[in-house]
Structure 1
């Protein structure tokens, strides 16, 4: 089963939107030191339920994109296509994170797929079940 592990909020002015979520919801916002402008959003304390995400410039049609973990990006992309979905961007490597692609379901809702790199962490339940 693939689990949602990250969200992205798309914005015309991501820096001001990052400030909004910091002020309105108390999120911790940090600028990512990566190849694109990106703000990391920590939405709660470690060990509590929920997911963290990011805020980025709007390059896609919808305002929020959820990213789902997969053990094999290539296999999952083939399943998405076979089920009637489409791949809109990628797969691409995100340095220090893993392989990523943006897809859409048959009704046009976008979502991300992430195959973590060897130094990235898998979701805790999957990491525990893979080690047994």
Structure 2
């Protein structure tokens, strides 16, 4: 079975994207060594989950209002409302508001400062 082991964020402004993810989720970034290399490794924390990379976008960003057209990573959070609020305060926007998945929890989607859409999930087996 093939498992997702790495993700990538594409950004028109990598520094702005790093500030967004550092301020909202406390992710850490480290630049890959090498002359002319524009790639940063992303550490999302300890335990279960995956880490990723950030690189300059090679074309135009996704248009506002277009449907999701790529794999979407979803982040486990303790408080979806607080995380969505922090994302908006850091310059992102709500792509899809919080929704309830009965017996599972809550999910919502944010758009980061670079136009990338990602999901947030708060587990709650009592959700109705």
TM-score (norm 1): 0.45
TM-score (norm 2): 0.46
